[in-house]
Structure 1
Amino acid sequence: MAFAVAPDAVLAGEVAVAIVAAWAARTAARPLRQSAVVVEILAGVALGPSLLGLLPGDPTGRLFPASGRGTLTSVAELGLLLFMFAIGWELDVSVVRARRTATIAMTAANFVVPFAVGAALAFALYPAYAGTRSGHRVTEAVFVVYIGVALAITAFPVLARILGDSPLRNTPVGQTAMAMAAGTDLCGWLGLALVVIAASATGSAASWTTLPLVVVYLAAMFLIVRPLLRTALAHVRAVGSGGTLPLVVAAVLASSYVSSAAGLHAAFGAFLLGLVMPRDSRAVLMLDIAEPLERTGAILMPVYFVATGLSADFHTLGWAGFELGFGVVALASTAKIGAVAAAARICGTDRREALILGVLMNTRGLTEIVVLDIGLSIGIIDAHLFTALLLMAVATTAVTTPVLHRLTSAASPATPAPWRPGSRPDRDAPSPSGPARTA
């Protein structure tokens, strides 16, 4: 006898499965020295059609019925928006400026070379893999820029998590890596924003409407919203009503709504609000905002991984699809590690530290997943290419921690690296990094 289950109860069951699966994966993978983001992504993929869906009786369809996918995606998007706000807030562009010429040169190499490799690859892939939007094939230019950005990404929050658990955390190499990742992510999000605007516009009239809206939105965020946030947060803290967190969450959701209405993805609105968030009372705000959001993210982000995993089906890739996926892994890794290591050597570092920087910059993680999810949702790529690029994101992130451990195991954790690109000892003392967000 079959019993009808209310939609809200179905959603509750789906969220429960996602949370338990993520926890079990993290626990099982702890001895492997893997980043939490890698095992949680794999847990989400395993719950989808790639593994669980292959069993008799379609367990994936029973646990996550198609009728409830939209609601599950909405819950996952809420976790994504809070996560994107955390990235924007943690991204301190002044860190990039503080390390001047050498770091900026290496950051340029970290973005430009992989972008060029990705763009060249996109020209070859466009005839077979470009997606459609509203029945219209995306333009080659949009597809090329998107794939270039996808290969150029470095996951700033995942890198923060990895460095936090390594002896490099407060060394010049670790701080330089964080500055490079911040600059690279900023370039990546700006490039992706332009791609989303172009892909979302269905004609010249739409383009002319979207661009002014985005310009007005960006100006309003920096010139109006930023000082308003500073005043509002100071007032709320003075009153002591405990309203800081509700105020910020409401601002994140409102910014996401306006961003989507202006022609960008909602994730950009959350990211931009984090970027304009006042940093003059950061220590206080960490207690009021960062820690509660981190706990909330620990619950909601596994839901995002599951929703993403349900879109990936490695079973349908076939041999050609896996060849593509591993080929992209090789291209992306060679471009990142080679470009950064070469730039670091030119700037005067030794080979081991240059290789360490290259390996760290090859970390893509959740930031790459977000980029791929946006591309799939607006039709720039299809499900087949999404799955192949997801393989690249997971593989490049999975190898970072064990390779980094091998490279640093011979060196004493207490011995700081001697190389400081373009720095003075009295100016570039290691600064404590903020706690890693859920990643």
Structure 2
Amino acid sequence: PMTVLAQIGLILLMFQIGSDFEFGHLAHRASKRAVGLIAAFSVAAPLATGFLVGQGTAAILAPGIDALAYSLFVAIAFAITAVPILGRILREYGLTRSRIGVITISAAAINDVVGWVLMAAVVAFAGSGFSWVHSGAQMAGLAGLVLVLRLVGRPLIDRLMRRFPVVDGQIPTPLLAIVLAMVFAAGIATQKLGIFTIFGGFLLGLLFHRHDRFVAAWRHQIGQFVLVFFLPIFFTYTGLRTDILGLASAAEWMWCAAIFIAATLAKIVPVYVAARLAGLDPHQATIAGVLMNTRALMELIVLNIGLQLGFIPPKVFTMLVIMAVATTVMAGPLLRLLLHRQGHPVDRLLDA
């Protein structure tokens, strides 16, 4: 039952993340070169590093699991950046409208989309036994689903919004019922394609981002319930699968530390280099690296998929969970320190 509830919660959460997605960040004219460079470096370098780490540790940490599938999942885990938590950090520190804030959230948005597409491709490829024909058919099916959602789903949603308008911040019951049915139908469709259910929720959510009233009402009516009921279940579910005591030897903790260091450097250093190439000063480049290193919930979702599909073993799952939590927790203190040095009024903002 906990597994089912966690999956339902994730589908609804991914729908909300999709509907909250700010496409405006991608079209922002300011600092486009910086956004492009940071996005490219923040995906390519961690992917390559993660894949090499996977190849180097497969025989030691993941015996009995296909080395290619394992390496691809480690690569995805290294590349993930969590847009939702990044947005909250920017708001907390008053950086939402700053140049560095706009650049990092824009780059993270691109990183997020590319990451989920790569995740879908990896699941299709690994799940098909690395058959190019079968995985190609799955990706073609996914492309067909995206096309159907764009050509049929989007006009249908527009009609639904006109037929059942949101009034006083409340979603009409018929509209809510239809949308929930559409969310789970999209999840079933992607599952049938051999990918994973939550990707369907994310795709459908992207179609709703233009309807601001609906998105705000959903966040108030459904989103809060998802956060206070389903999300704790998912965290509990993840916690029960995370066996920290299972890392019993010093060697395993050394591997855990090595994975954390590799994942952190694979994000911060390339982002710093990209930001400097784009003309940002060293301080801003460091801030960009720290911000892009946040992984949080998105990473946990990816790791649970990998464990569920059998592409990462339990001990590596635990190591990567520790890495995800640590890279997210360290972002706040590091950012505060960097902002202090830059003369940013961080204390006043946090105390306000």
TM normalised by structure 1 equals 0.73
Question: Hey, what does 1:5 align to over in structure 2?
Answer: none
The equivalent position to 1:333 in structure 2, one of 264, 272, 293, is 264
Change (3 A) 1:342 1:208: closer
Unpaired runs of 5+ residues, structure 1, are 1-70, 415-439
Distance, in Å, in 1 between the alignment partners of 2:220 and 2:268 is: 34
Question: Hey, what does 1:421 align to over in structure 2?
Answer: none
Listed one character per residue, the Cα deviations across residues 45-71 of structure 1 (whole Å, up to 9, x for unaligned) are: xxxxxxxxxxxxxxxxxxxxxxxxxx0
Question: Hey, what does 1:371 align to over in structure 2?
Answer: 302
Question: Hey, what does 2:284 align to over in structure 1?
Answer: 353
Please report how far the alpha carbon of residue 259 of structure 1 lies from its aligned counterpart in structure 2 after TM superposition.
0.8
Question: Hey, what does 2:235 align to over in structure 1?
Answer: 305
Asked if residue 151 in structure 1 is aligned to residue 78 in structure 2, the reply is yes
Q: Which amino acid aligns with 1:81?
A: I
Change (3 A) 1:208 1:148: closer
Is the Cα–Cα contact under 8 Å of residues 217 and 262 in structure 1 kept in the other structure? no
Q: Which amino acid aligns with 2:88?
A: R
What's the secondary structure of 1:237's corresponding residue?
Answer: coil
Is the Cα–Cα contact under 8 Å of residues 230 and 278 in structure 1 kept in the other structure? no
Please report how far the alpha carbon of residue 320 of structure 1 lies from its aligned counterpart in structure 2 after TM superposition.
2.0
Is the Cα–Cα contact under 8 Å of residues 18 and 206 in structure 2 kept in the other structure? yes
Asked if residue 397 in structure 1 is aligned to residue 328 in structure 2, the reply is yes
Distance, in Å, in 1 between the alignment partners of 2:86 and 2:166 is: 35
Question: Hey, what does 2:180 align to over in structure 1?
Answer: 249
Q: Which amino acid aligns with 1:158?
A: I
Distance, in Å, in 1 between the alignment partners of 2:149 and 2:86 is: 27
Listed one character per residue, the Cα deviations across residues 380-409 of structure 1 (whole Å, up to 9, x for unaligned) are: 101111011111001100100111111113
Distance, in Å, in 1 between the alignment partners of 2:34 and 2:116 is: 22
Distance, in Å, in 2 between the alignment partners of 1:73 and 1:233 is: 33
The equivalent position to 2:218 in structure 1, one of 272, 283, 289, is 289
Asked if residue 161 in structure 1 is aligned to residue 92 in structure 2, the reply is no
Please report how far the alpha carbon of residue 94 of structure 1 lies from its aligned counterpart in structure 2 after TM superposition.
4.2
Is the Cα–Cα contact under 8 Å of residues 100 and 288 in structure 2 kept in the other structure? yes
Change (3 A) 1:403 1:211: closer
Distance, in Å, in 1 between the alignment partners of 2:51 and 2:293 is: 17
Please report how far the alpha carbon of residue 212 of structure 1 lies from its aligned counterpart in structure 2 after TM superposition.
3.6
Is the Cα–Cα contact under 8 Å of residues 244 and 288 in structure 1 kept in the other structure? no
Superposition pairs of residues 112-123 of structure 1, within 5 angstroms: 112-123=44-55
Is the Cα–Cα contact under 8 Å of residues 186 and 200 in structure 2 kept in the other structure? yes
Change (3 A) 1:101 1:412: closer
Larger Rg: 1
Superposition pairs of residues 178-193 of structure 1, within 5 angstroms: 178-193=105-120
The equivalent position to 1:201 in structure 2, one of 114, 128, 134, is 128
Q: Which amino acid aligns with 1:224?
A: V
Question: Hey, what does 2:5 align to over in structure 1?
Answer: 75
Unpaired runs of 5+ residues, structure 2, are 347-352
Superposition pairs of residues 232-247 of structure 1, within 5 angstroms: 232-237=160-165, 241-247=172-178
**Number of aligned positions between the proteins:** 337
Q: Which amino acid aligns with 1:109?
A: F
Asked if residue 97 in structure 1 is aligned to residue 30 in structure 2, the reply is no
Asked if residue 412 in structure 1 is aligned to residue 344 in structure 2, the reply is yes
Change (3 A) 1:125 1:235: same
Q: Which amino acid aligns with 1:72?
A: M
Distance, in Å, in 1 between the alignment partners of 2:219 and 2:181 is: 15
Is the Cα–Cα contact under 8 Å of residues 214 and 263 in structure 1 kept in the other structure? no
Please report how far the alpha carbon of residue 253 of structure 1 lies from its aligned counterpart in structure 2 after TM superposition.
1.1
Asked if residue 222 in structure 1 is aligned to residue 153 in structure 2, the reply is no
Q: Which amino acid aligns with 1:223?
A: L
Distance, in Å, in 2 between the alignment partners of 1:222 and 1:304 is: 30
Distance, in Å, in 2 between the alignment partners of 1:211 and 1:181 is: 24
**In proportion to residue count, which structure has more helix?**
2
Change (3 A) 1:412 1:257: same
Listed one character per residue, the Cα deviations across residues 4-46 of structure 1 (whole Å, up to 9, x for unaligned) are: xxxxxxxxxxxxxxxxxxxxxxxxxxxxxxxxxxxxxxxxxxx
Asked if residue 269 in structure 1 is aligned to residue 206 in structure 2, the reply is no
Identity of aligned residues (%): 32
Distance, in Å, in 1 between the alignment partners of 2:345 and 2:162 is: 41
Please report how far the alpha carbon of residue 241 of structure 1 lies from its aligned counterpart in structure 2 after TM superposition.
4.0
Q: Which amino acid aligns with 1:105?
A: L
TM normalised by structure 2 equals 0.90
Please report how far the alpha carbon of residue 141 of structure 1 lies from its aligned counterpart in structure 2 after TM superposition.
3.2
Please report how far the alpha carbon of residue 131 of structure 1 lies from its aligned counterpart in structure 2 after TM superposition.
7.2
Is the Cα–Cα contact under 8 Å of residues 122 and 144 in structure 1 kept in the other structure? yes
Q: Which amino acid aligns with 2:220?
A: E
Distance, in Å, in 1 between the alignment partners of 2:324 and 2:182 is: 31
Change (3 A) 1:101 1:80: same
Q: Which amino acid aligns with 1:79?
A: G
Please report how far the alpha carbon of residue 156 of structure 1 lies from its aligned counterpart in structure 2 after TM superposition.
0.6
Listed one character per residue, the Cα deviations across residues 210-248 of structure 1 (whole Å, up to 9, x for unaligned) are: 344323222212222122112112211189844333332
Question: Hey, what does 2:97 align to over in structure 1?
Answer: 170
Distance, in Å, in 2 between the alignment partners of 1:273 and 1:309 is: 29
Is the Cα–Cα contact under 8 Å of residues 169 and 175 in structure 1 kept in the other structure? yes
Is the Cα–Cα contact under 8 Å of residues 295 and 324 in structure 2 kept in the other structure? yes
Distance, in Å, in 1 between the alignment partners of 2:309 and 2:59 is: 18
Question: Hey, what does 1:323 align to over in structure 2?
Answer: 254
Is the Cα–Cα contact under 8 Å of residues 166 and 214 in structure 2 kept in the other structure? no
Change (3 A) 1:206 1:344: closer
What's the secondary structure of 1:363's corresponding residue?
Answer: coil
